[in-house]
Amino acid sequence: MTRTRSMRTALILPALAMVIGFSTACSFGEVYLHDPFLREVSLAEVQLHYSSLVRWSAFHKAAKYVDPEARASFLSALPPLEQFRFTDFDSEPVDIDEETGEATIHVTYKGYSVRSPFEVTVKETQHWKRHSIANDWYVTPEFEGISNTTGLAKAE
């Protein structure tokens, strides 16, 4: 009887530990049943880092997140650092299209030209696409309002 009881205990304890561990992981948000490959989490982190680099005018660092085919146009479209400063940005939440595995995120940057006291709004539409199974995301950015960074136009 003790042998049967000890075998039952040997089977029940690991199963109980797994249930408790899984429950704890779920309660702390570490298990994503709706997104087991963490695509949304990795995109949110990459998108925040990229947008922060643009906000701080670290354009060459931000370019590593830009689709290689669009990098040259990305760098040429942005204002020279000595002419314009971004001061803030606001981004909508990340939402991945389940059918395509891609996401489009709209970001609004605020800034000013050193030639003008008026705040300027620059809008960016970020088209994100995953390029490998390793959750490597690349963005194809589209800027609107970059021409206003010369200091000749007021913010909307």
The chain-wide mean pLDDT, for the chain, equals 79
How much of the chain, in percent, has pLDDT values that exceed 90? Answer: 40
pLDDT number for residue 85: 87
**What's the pTM value of the predicted model, to 2 decimals?**
0.69
Q: Classify the C-alpha dihedral 8-11-15-17 as positive or negative.
A: positive
pLDDT number for residue 135: 73
Least confident of 8-17, 21-30, 38-47, 100-109: 21-30
Buried b (16+ CB within 10 A) or exposed e, 140-152: bbebebbebbebe
- Report the top-level CATH class of 37-150: alpha beta
For the segment 65-88, the average pLDDT, to the nearest whole number, is 89
Question: Rounded distance, CA 89 to CA 75, Å?
Answer: 19
Question: Rounded to an integer, what is the distance from CA 45 to the centroid of its chain?
Answer: 4
pLDDT number for residue 122: 92
- For residue 23, is pLDDT > 90? no
Question: Rounded distance, CA 3 to CA 8, Å?
Answer: 9
pLDDT number for residue 31: 42
- For residue 18, is pLDDT > 70? no
Structure tokens at 20: 């408790």
Domain ranges within the chain, ordered by starting residue: 1-31, 37-150
